[in-house]
Amino acid sequence: MMDFKIAVLAGDGIGPEISVQGVDVMTAVCEKFGHKVSYEYAICGADAIDKVGDPFPEETYQVCKQADAVLFSAVGDPKFDNDPTAKVRPEQGLLAMRKKLGLFANIRPVQTFKCLVHKSPLKAELVDGADFLCIRELTGGMYFGEKYQDNDKAYDTNMYTRPEIERILKVGFEYAMKRRKHLTVVDKANVLASSRLWRQIAQEMAPQYPEVTTDYMFVDNAAMKMIQEPKFFDVMVTENTFGDILTDEGSVISGSMGLLPSASTGESTPVFEPIHGSWPQAKGLNIANPLAQILSVAMLFEYFDCKEEGALIRRAVDASLDANVRTPEIQVEGGAKYGTKEVGAWIVDYIRKA
């Protein structure tokens, strides 16, 4: 039996609607397995800017720091997207959260669901059975390096240090050990000095994991290989900028971004969140797919080594898809109409009866 103290950050757009479904599933699983769970709610993103002028206020940080895990939903609002002069943006809250909690590793599974393979932009035979992890370094590189901009010149500095590279590669090797023992280190070592250091350190560390087959791939080649042969990959590890691009490429392979969860882990409280954005156009319409948020809860349990709990959530999600209990964007033609709440309620019911 465990006690879970969960910080809930619903954020913007569809965030609050899917957040409720994640919390309900977490509660149902904890009841089923005899765990105690308590929730502390905090503001972030555009919602927090409107309320207190800061997308990740100190109070929210304290709530996250004192929790065992953060169940996060989404941030972002069009009023900021369309204003290039805005000094404070919802997304800065995400960067601040990662930095303050020391979340240096972003773990994104790319997996396909048999009944949704036809939704993938790739041919069924390419994607059926694809199942890999993208591990992205989250707090270094160009996004956090020294920046400069005037009317005629701008630069971003892509800097990495040995400790930053070693700790993320360690995460990559350890996940590979738990899976199919194949790690692909993605870089641009033919052009970038920072990438050459990544590759050098990876080659130094590889002998410590003799069971893992380690290979190296330039990022342009990796982007092609993900489309041509997604089943080649098991665990892929890369730096911040490349990881940002490749994880989004990977996310559409499965056919719906509404299905994929992620975890960000590091020195402090881990954060579990869906990979899709805040989809402000759908706010309040009860059409957002809650499955990525629900699968984030499965990842949360698995992180704490509660494998049965995670497996039950995954079975419930698979069962809902098989029963065509789906939100509009993945519903089969002529299938019944289900909204965010209805899909969440169906899954909670399945968990309770299991």
Mean pLDDT in residue range 232-250: 95
Model confidence pTM above 0.75: yes
Question: Is 152 assigned to a binding site?
Answer: no
Q: How many CB atoms lie within 10 A of CB 229?
A: 11
CATH number for region 107-257: 3.40.718.10
The encoded tokens of residue 8 equal 């809930």
248 to each of 81, 214, 245, how far by Cα in Å? 19, 23, 5
Q: Is the pLDDT of residue 259 over 90?
A: no
Q: Is the pLDDT of residue 248 over 90?
A: no
Catalytic positions are 143, 188, 220, 244, 248
- What is the band of 85 on the pLDDT scale with cuts at 50, 70, 90? confident
Using a pLDDT cut of 90, give the percent of the chain over it.
82
> Which of 48-52, 115-119, 239-243, 281-285 is least confident?
115-119
CATH 3.50.50.60 fits 1-103+267-353, yes or no: no
* Domain boundaries along the sequence of the chain: 1-103+267-353, 107-257
Beta bridge partner(s), residue 107: 135, 263
The encoded tokens of residue 168 equal 């993320």
d(CA 141, CA 244): 11
157-196 b/e with 16+ CB inside 10 Å = b?
ebebeeebbeebbebbbebbeeeebbbbbbbbbeebebbe
The answer to whether domain 1-103+267-353 and domain 107-257 are alike in fold is yes
Q: How many helices (H) and strands (E) does the chain have?
A: 13, 12
Q: Are 19 and 340 in contact (CB under 8 A)?
A: no
Beta bridge partner(s), residue 110: 132
Vertex 119: Cα angle to 121 and 226 (nearest 5) = 40
Vertex 249: Cα angle to 121 and 319 (nearest 5) = 60
Q: What is the pLDDT of residue 113?
A: 84
Q: What is the pLDDT of residue 84?
A: 73
Q: Is the pLDDT of residue 119 over 90?
A: no
Question: Is 220 assigned to a binding site?
Answer: yes
The encoded tokens of residue 353 equal 């009866």
d(CA 139, CA 106): 10
Mind spelling out the 3-state secondary structure of 84-146?
A: CCCCCCHHHHHHHHHHHCCCCEEEEEEECCHHHHHHCCCCHHHHCCCEEEEEEECCCHHHCCC
Q: What is the pLDDT of residue 11?
A: 96
Q: What is the pLDDT of residue 37?
A: 98
Nearest Cα to Cα of residue 254 among 111, 109, 108, 107: 111
Q: Is the pLDDT of residue 264 over 90?
A: yes
Q: Which residues contact 234 (CB under 8 A, 6 or more apart)?
A: 132, 133, 176, 179, 180, 181, 182, 183, 184
Nearest Cα to Cα of residue 299 among 35, 100, 39, 29: 29
The encoded tokens of residue 331 equal 């519903």
More confident residue, 253 or 39: 39
Question: Is 244 assigned to a binding site?
Answer: yes
Question: Is 248 assigned to a binding site?
Answer: yes
